[in-house]
Structure 1
Amino acid sequence: MQYQSLLCIHGRDNGARFAVISASIYFVLIFGFLLIGQTSVMLILAGLLSPLLVLTTYRRVRDAARPIWYSGLPLIPLSLFSMALAFGNSTLLSSVAFFFALAVNAFLAMLASKSKVSRYQNGYAGPAAVAKSHANRRRVEPTLDADGSTSYREESDTESERGNASDNQQDWESSVSIRSFSASLQGWAVWGKQHPKILLSVAGGLLAITLLSGLWSLVSSSEEETVALTTLAVEEPVLTSAREEAKIPDGFSVLLEGNILIMRWLGETRTPGEIWSLASAQGDRSCTNLRFNNGTDYRTILVEYMPDTAIEARFSPLDTQAIITDIARRGSVKLCGYDFSLKGSQSALARNAAFIPYL
């Protein structure tokens, strides 16, 4: 592959060459992500690679005789994919952006060639094409001298090949090297002046996407800082990952921690600690029993104030089934001087699959 042809604006790319170049660009992005991780540097890397993608798309569009504005299509999935790598925390988001890019590039690669060029070099035809060198081959022919001895005359058969190669190369030779690159830049400048609306639309779209991604990054980072500060302020997490919760409409929650039932509600602001403990039989006597409106009582194992001003009451695993059944069927319940209505409790419990086996 002639590397100078990657920056050419006057040539043409067939579908296979366009597919290889575009795939290489995404491979470089993925490799950079694996190397440096999730960072805004991915946007810079995508910006450096985007001219190569635009130029090969432009050559592909010219080869397929399609509208020039098609050249800007691959920039949309490239921007989305690079922002997903830079700011997104979702593998699904990156995968969707990648498959979107795959679909756009496959569409452009499969466009039928309408060019009259009969021969491509590595999928490219244009001023940067370099004719392959031909090895010199000589033919030795025997001749009969006057004295009857045999001598040999060498004849080169490369002259005709050189003539053919020079004929094929003559049309392009004057535009090779630096002049070809400068002509490409001038051509892009002329095209930009002729199509200002397209240029502004593409630039504005990329700018809007970049700003939205930046705001998204700021919002997500501020949320992470808030969560971190909350975690530092609270010494113990209120709910662990092993807990299942059902929120009852009257302001309290029923939790399952394994097979242990916990009743939780917000209380007064006090120093965290025990309110009542069955092990020591000390504390607030109003917290010794959970009493339903039909007179059924269940003894508490431990009642304590939590760091977030909530009160949690734990019960024996032997009573878990009976307490959940009564919460679903009774009208009210009383504990620690608090009266709670159980209206709507059955539907609240049924919304969490962990409580369904107890209902």
Structure 2
Amino acid sequence: MQYRSLFCVRGRDNGPRFALISALAYLILLLGFIFIGASSALIIIGLFLTPLLGLSGLRRMRDAARPAWLLGLSFIPLLFFVLSLVYGDSLSFSASCVVFATLITGFLAMQRSASKNSHYHQGYSGPAAMTAGGKGRKRVEPTLDGSAAPVGGHISDNMSEQVEEPESYEETGRGFDGISLEQWSSWAKQNRRLLLASVGGLSCMILIAGVWSLFSGAAGDEDVAQEPEVSAPQIIVKRDEVKLPDGFSLILEHDLLVMRWLGETEEPGTIWSLATAQGDKTCAHLIFNNGTRYRPVTVEQMPDTGIEARFSPLDTESIISDIARRGSVKLCGYDFSLKGSQSALAKSGSFIPYL
């Protein structure tokens, strides 16, 4: 294998060599995906293979006397193939890239060589081609005066001259099924619009199908991820509410006491939390006019602009008793009058046991 010829800029590549190098590039990427998975290392491998494919395409275009910009077509499917392996989850999109690359590679490989006298060694013709030749040593003949005189010529190690001619590979000028490339070229020139329309339409269909499958697969995954989970049935807590004269209410949720009143329009959230001691410090204590204090567990701003202060069940009886007997109470900067609160509480059967 002529490894130096892979990096040659001035040589020529025939069609089979270019097709083989292109196929090996995709095969190496596929093997890398199998062994290392969808890793960013595939991008590094792709960056290494891109100049090899580009140089081979450049030599192929020189051999076919075609404009060099045509080799850019071979980079498009390679780029999408690498991205589909690293970031994509759609196998059909990767397969579409391979099919698209096969069409482009076949089109470039079938271009007829413009040189009639080029000799190809393993599909390559250029300055990096290896020539095989025996390196011998000079034969020395004895003379009458005892001195040695060199005699022109070379002999090899086995005492015979061997000259190996470099193996050459010439374009046969034959295409598929024995049809000459000239006939293919003539047909393509006569039906250029039909050929371009067919190739372009097929390529667009492949790309659209690949992109569609990529996005449809992602949408399907989102639908699966967004399927509603079966949650446990919520326990409905009975709330017994008593509205007091000064615009606030007392609510019993079993043994838990909630004090509720309408506040200002603010975003719903926690105003005060006893667990973290964070929030509005004026909500840290419920203070009666006789100085009795109770700590609310949480004070929350509700979506309906209401404010609810929840207390420990251990303080429920004491708080209800003080509300029925005291004159006023303060919480979160609000001062509530307790006038008429005892009669309001006595009308509720849930609060009577606490009076």
Per the shorter chain, which TM-score range?
0.3 to 0.5
Structure with the higher fraction of residues in helix conformation:
1
Give the TM-score of the pair, scaled to structure 1: 0.41
Max Rg structure: 2
